[in-house]
Structures are given as C-alpha cells and as structure tokens.
C-alpha cells in the first residue's frame, strides 16, 4: 500500500501538520523532530502525492504548452528551450498539439478551464488567440511565442523580422549584388511583410534594386521555392541575389538554380531565413538569417514562470535579434554587422543532426 503523510505522522509520533511543515521546509520545526521525520520518510520511501498537493494548494505547478503542430523544423530547438527552463523551475510541461483542429483546441480549453495548468505558453496561436486573450483577461498567466511576426495583444516573445530582412539585404549588397529577387511566404504570415519591409528599407539609396516583377509568393515549402525560381527564370528575369523568407523555399530555390545551370553563389547569391537544421545540408550550404529559436522558447518560459511566481513581468513584447549565418550560398565577404563568426558557423553552430540520442550522461540512483 502507498505510504501517506498519515503513515509518516503515525510512525514519527507527530501530527500530519508537522510532517507537512517538514515537507515544505518551514523553519519553525524542532531540529530533532525534523530529523526523525526525515528519517522515517527516507525509510518508508515516502513521496507526497502530487494530486493531493495540487488540490490542497489550488495549483498544479504545471504549465500548458500549446503548439499548432510539432512538425516544424524549429520546434525541437524551441521546445528544448522551453523545457530547459520549465523543468528545473520545478514545473511540469503539459504538451498540447493543436494539430487535430477544433477538437484539439477544445481539449486544450477544457484542460485550462479545469485548472490542469497554472499558465499557458502558446506558440503561434493563430485562431486560438482570442481565446487566449480571454483567459489572460480572466487572470490566467499567458505568454505567446511568435515565430511568424504576428503581434499578439498579450505578453509575447518574438524576433526582429524586419531586422532580419535588413541583414539579408546588407549581405547581398556587401557581395556586390545589385539586381535582387525575393520569394515571400504565404501572404497570411506577417513575417513576410516585416522581412520585406526591412529588406526594401535597407536597399533604398543604394544602387541595388528589387523590382515588383522580381518578387514572387510561394507556400513556404521546398517545392514552392523551386517553382518560384522557375517562374522567375521562365520570365527571363535577371537577378544575381535572392532572398527567400524561409529556409525550405531557399532550399528549393537552390535546386531550381542548379537544374538551370546557374552557379550559386557565383551567378546568384542566395539567402534564406530561419536557420533550421536542414539549411546546413544543402549544397552549397545555405547562408541564412538565424532566428534564435531556443532562446525565444527559454525567454517565453522564464517570463511565464516569473508571472506564476507573482513577479510582475513586462507587457512589452520581448524581441530577439536575428543574426547572419554565412555558409556557401553567398560569396565570401568582409565583416558585416551582426554576422556570426564563419568558422564557428561551420563547426560549433552546425545543428546537431543526429539520428540517435543514446544518453551519455551519468545517471544517478533513481
């Protein structure tokens, strides 16, 4: 039979209240009494029931994480960033994938309304945003991670996408590219607008041009990027620099350029966006605007947990800088502001793309 606090109290000859005090590290317990209780707990292998603690305390020490899908290239980084903060803080991480659509969101809502979590960390909530805002108004701590440039009316963490666009432009200019082309993502994703604005912004007053004819929309996929470049080529448009608002589209662009016999980066320099793992394995490896997924996840988690602990927390969005990861799809250039060390990019920053995860760390007695 499971050992309860009552058992420990009886064996130690004290009340449950005193055992509870020891359990919660309250200072007002006699040293000898505490030692005796701790000994009994160790002997019996007593572990408090989290179910009972939760009910009595009125909270669960669990945060809900809502993500539209787990099947995104940056999700492992982001999620690990979240877990690395949430778990050491003593909180559990209850994962909800909204991939199932309506029913999945209803389960999430039920979980929240049933107080299964103390707070919510939502990644790109999309249509669930209104619901989250209601919850937030009702006092539930909520933090949003925005990976698509959607400014949420809630505490949020995002990246400076416009600045990312600027960095891409800067690099292409530094490489001497003057006739530029751009592949945007789906129009619904605000990232594109921000990226495009930043890109165009930096171009003004330089000799470089990005004509409307050279801007084409794709669906965010590799195939979409491939098709987009084919459209540009078929229209006989000339360009020596290309910025794609996503690494997948950039990878497709590389494929189309290669098939067309265009040298990369010699004839066309290509810059992607995101720096997800596959970007490092294209040929040539993709130069891209790095978004700090893991840091963003960690910051959102920290912000949420601070709120759970009653610390204020700013309502201003926490915006992360992007940076350039220069690989082979752009020619070597001199130093550019915000550029990450090239050598580091090739070694330390190469994403750990391993097919196995055998634990190597020493494991304590459990």
Partner DNA sequence: CTGAAAGCGCTTACAG
Which residues sit at the interface with DNA, rule CB under 7 A?
2, 4-6, 13-18, 20-21, 23-24, 27-30, 33-34, 46, 48-49, 51-53, 55-58
Q: Does 158 bind a copy of itself (CB under 8 A)?
A: no
Instruction: Give the one entry of DNA, a copy of itself, none that residue 254 binds, where binding means its C-beta sits below a cut-off of 5 to 8 angstroms depending on kind.
Output: a copy of itself
* Number of residues counted as binding a copy of itself (CB under 8 A): 111
**Least distance from C-beta 205 to a copy of itself, angstroms?**
30
Least distance between DNA and beta carbon 114 (Å): 8
- Closest CB 62 distance from DNA, rounded Å: 16
Nearer to DNA, 13 or 337 (CB): 13
| Interacting residue with a copy of itself among 29, 93, 178, 233 (CB under 8 A) | 93
Pick the closer one to DNA by CB: 56 or 70. 56
- What phi and psi values does residue 244 have, to the nearest 5 degrees? -110, 135
Nearby residues of 339 by Cβ (< 8 Å), 6 or more positions away: 171, 323, 324, 326
Q: How far is CA 267 from CA 16, 216, 228, 238, 240, in A?
A: 77, 20, 17, 10, 6
Indicate which single residue of 19, 77, 313, 322 sits in contact with a copy of itself (rule: CB under 8 A).
Answer: 77
Shortest Å distance, C-beta 266 to a copy of itself: 16
Q: Which two tokens stand for residue 69?
A: 């899908």
Residue 21 binding partner per list DNA, a copy of itself, none, with a CB distance cut-off of 5 to 8 Å that depends on partner kind: DNA
Among 34, 247, 322, 330, binds a copy of itself (CB under 8 A): 247
Q: Output the smallest distance, CB 182 to DNA, in A.
A: 54
B/e letters for 284-311, b = 16+ CB within 10 Å, e = fewer, are: ebbbbbbbbbbbbbbbbbbbbbbbbeee
Q: How far is the CB of 104 from DNA (least distance, A)?
A: 23
* Of positions 1, 32, 212, 352, contacts a copy of itself by CB under 8 A: 352
d(CA 239, CA 180): 5
Cβ nearer to DNA, comparing 34 with 330: 34
Window 33 to 52, contacts with a copy of itself (CB under 8 A): 45, 47-52
b/e per residue, 345-363, with b = 16+ CB within 10 A?
beeebeeeeeeeeeeeeee
Which of a copy of itself, DNA, none does residue 309 bind to, with CB < 5 to 8 Å depending on kind?
A: none
**Residue (252 or 313) nearer to a copy of itself, CB:** 252
Residue 102 and residue 68 in contact, taking contact as beta carbons nearer than 8 Å: no
> E strands within 316-361?
318-320, 323-325
Footprint (CB under 8 A) of a copy of itself, residues 103-122: 103-107, 109-111, 113-116
d(CA 155, CA 78): 17
Nearer to DNA, 48 or 328 (CB): 48
Q: Record the tokens describing residue 121, joined without a space.
A: 């960390």
Q: Which does 33 bind (CB under 5 to 8 A by kind): a copy of itself, DNA, none?
A: DNA
Cα dihedral 251, 275, 353, 120 sign:
negative
238 touches a copy of itself by CB under 8 A: no
E strands, the chain, where? 62-67, 92-97, 119-123, 142-145, 156-159, 180-184, 215-217, 241-244, 269-274, 287-290, 318-320, 323-325
């Amino acid at each position: 039979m499971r050992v309860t606090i009552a058992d420990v109290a009886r064996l130690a000859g004290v009340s449950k209240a005193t055992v509870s005090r020891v359990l919660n590290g309250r200072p007002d317990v006699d040293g000898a009494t505490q030692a005796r209780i701790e000994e009994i707990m160790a002997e019996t292998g007593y572990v408090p029931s989290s179910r009972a603690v939760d009910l009595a305390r009125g909270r669960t020490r669990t945060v809900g994480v809502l993500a539209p899908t787990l099947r995104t290239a940056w999700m492992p980084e982001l999620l690990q960033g979240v877990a690395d903060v949430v778990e050491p803080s003593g909180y559990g991480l209850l994962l909800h994938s909204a991939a199932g659509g309506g029913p999945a969101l209803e389960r999430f809502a039920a979980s929240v309304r049933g107080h299964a979590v103390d707070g919510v960390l939502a990644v790109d909530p999309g249509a669930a945003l209104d619901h989250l805002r209601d919850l937030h108004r009702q006092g539930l701590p909520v933090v949003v991670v925005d990976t698509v440039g959607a400014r949420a009316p809630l505490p949020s963490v995002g990246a400076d996408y416009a600045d990312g666009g600027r960095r891409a432009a800067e690099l292409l200019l530094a490489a001497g590219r003057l006739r530029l082309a751009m592949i945007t993502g789906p129009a619904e994703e605000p990232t594109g607008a921000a990226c495009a604005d930043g890109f165009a912004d930096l171009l003004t007053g330089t000799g470089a041009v990005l004509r409307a004819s050279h801007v084409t929309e794709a669906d965010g996929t590799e195939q979409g990027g491939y098709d987009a470049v084919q459209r540009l080529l078929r229209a006989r448009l000339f360009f020596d620099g290309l910025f794609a608002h996503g690494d997948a589209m950039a990878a497709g662009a590389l494929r189309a350029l290669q098939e067309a016999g265009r040298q990369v980066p010699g004839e066309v320099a290509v810059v992607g966006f995101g720096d997800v793992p596959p970007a490092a394995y294209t040929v040539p490896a993709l130069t891209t605007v790095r978004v700090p997924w893991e840091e963003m996840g960690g910051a959102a988690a920290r912000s949420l947990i601070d709120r759970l602990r009653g610390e204020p927390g700013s309502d201003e969005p926490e915006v992360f800088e992007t940076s350039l990861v220069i690989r082979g799809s752009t020619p070597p250039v001199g130093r550019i502001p915000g550029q990450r060390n090239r050598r580091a990019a090739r070694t330390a920053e190469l994403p750990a793309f391993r097919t196995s995860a055998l634990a190597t760390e020493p494991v304590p007695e459990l």
